[in-house]
Chains A and B, each alone.
Chain A
Amino acid sequence: MRKIRIVEDKCNGCGMCIPVCSWNAIYLESGTAKLNDYCNDCDKCVEVCPKKAIEKIGEKKEGTAAKKEIQEGNEVWVFAEQRNKKIARVALELLGKARELAESLSVKVGAVLLCAQDEGLSKQLIACGADKVYLAEDPKLGYYKTDLYTKIISDAIKENKPQVMIYGATHIGRDLAPRIAQRLTTGLTADCTGLNIDEDGLLLQTRPAFGGNIMAQIKCKTHRPQMSTARPGIFKMLQEDKGRKGEIIKIKADIKAEDSLTKVIKVIKEAKHVANLEEAEIIVSGGRGLGDKSGFELIKQLAGLLGGEVGASRAVVDAGWIAQDHQVGQTGKTVRPKLYIACGISGAIQHRAGMQGSETIVAINKDKKAPIFGIADYGIVGDLHKVVPLLIEELKK
Chain B
Amino acid sequence: MDLSFNKQQLMIKKVITEFAEKEIKPYASEIDQEPRFPEEIVKKMAKLGLMGMSIPKKYGGSELDNVSQTIIMEEVSKACASTSVTMGAHTSLCCYPIVHHGTEEQKQRFLPKLASGEYLGAFALTEPEAGSDAVNVQTTAVKDRDEYIINGSKIFITNGGKADFINIVTTTDPAARHKGLAIFAIETKNQKGFSVGKKEDKLGLRGSNTSEIIFQDMRLPKENLIGGKEGDGFKIAMNVFNSGRIGIGIQGVGIAQAAFDECLKYVKEREQFGRKLHKFQAIQFMLSEMATRIEAARLLCYEAAYLKDQGKNYIKEAAMAKLYGSDVAMEVTRKAIQIHGGYGFIKDYPLERFYRDAKITEIYEGTSEIQKLVIAAQLLGKGF
Contacts and interface: CB of A to CB of B under 8 A. Distances in A.
Do A and B contact each other directly (Cβ–Cβ < 8 Å)? yes
A331 B349 contact: yes
Nearest to B30: A324
A353 interface: yes
Nearest to B346: A331
A349 B348 contact: no
Interface string B222-246: 0000000000000000000000000
Contacts of B348: 314, 331
Contact of B269 (A314, A331, A349): A349
B271 interface: yes
A330 B349 CA distance: 9
B339 to A, nearest CB: 14
A42 B332 CA distance: 55
Nearest to A331: B348
Contacts of B349: 331
A316 to B, nearest CB: 14
A142 to B, nearest CB: 43
B329 to A, nearest CB: 23
Interface in A339-363: 349, 353
A375 to B, nearest CB: 13
A314 B349 CA distance: 12
B202 interface: no
A353 to B, nearest CB: 6
A315 B329 CA distance: 32
Interface residues of A, number: 5
A331 B348 CA distance: 6
A330 B348 CA distance: 10
B271 to A, nearest CB: 7
Contacts of A353: 269
A349 B348 CA distance: 15
A189 to B, nearest CB: 33
Contact of B271 (A314, A331, A349): A349
A349 B271 CA distance: 9
Contacts of B143: none
B57 interface: no
A314 to B, nearest CB: 8
Nearest to A352: B269
Interface string A302-314: 0000000000001
B209 to A, nearest CB: 26
Interface in B267-281: 269-271
A331 B352 CA distance: 14
Contacts of A331: 348-349
A284 to B, nearest CB: 23
A331 B353 CA distance: 14
Contacts of B269: 330, 349, 353
A91 B349 CA distance: 49
Contacts of B270: 349
Nearest to A327: B348
Interface in A315-332: 330-331
Contacts of A330: 269
A355 to B, nearest CB: 13
| From B270, B271, B348, B349, residue with most partner A Cβ within 10 Å | B348
Interface string B244-273: 000000000000000000000000011100
Interface in B346-363: 348-349
Contacts of B271: 349
A153 B272 CA distance: 62
Nearest to B347: A331
A350 to B, nearest CB: 9
A331 B351 CA distance: 12
Interface in B318-374: 348-349
B263 to A, nearest CB: 13
A65 B270 CA distance: 60
Nearest to B349: A331
A352 to B, nearest CB: 9
A349 B269 CA distance: 8
A314 B347 CA distance: 13
Interface string A142-178: 0000000000000000000000000000000000000
A274 to B, nearest CB: 16
A216 B118 CA distance: 54
B273 to A, nearest CB: 15
A353 B266 CA distance: 10
B199 to A, nearest CB: 27
B22 to A, nearest CB: 11
Nearest to A318: B348
A12 to B, nearest CB: 31
A6 to B, nearest CB: 32
8 contacts: A314-B348, A330-B269, A331-B348, A331-B349, A349-B269, A349-B270, A349-B271, A353-B269
Given A330-B269, A349-B269, 6 more contacts: A314-B348, A331-B348, A331-B349, A349-B270, A349-B271, A353-B269
Nearest 5 CB-CB pairs, A to B?
Answer: A331-B348, A353-B269, A331-B349, A349-B269, A349-B271
Interface of A: 314, 330-331, 349, 353
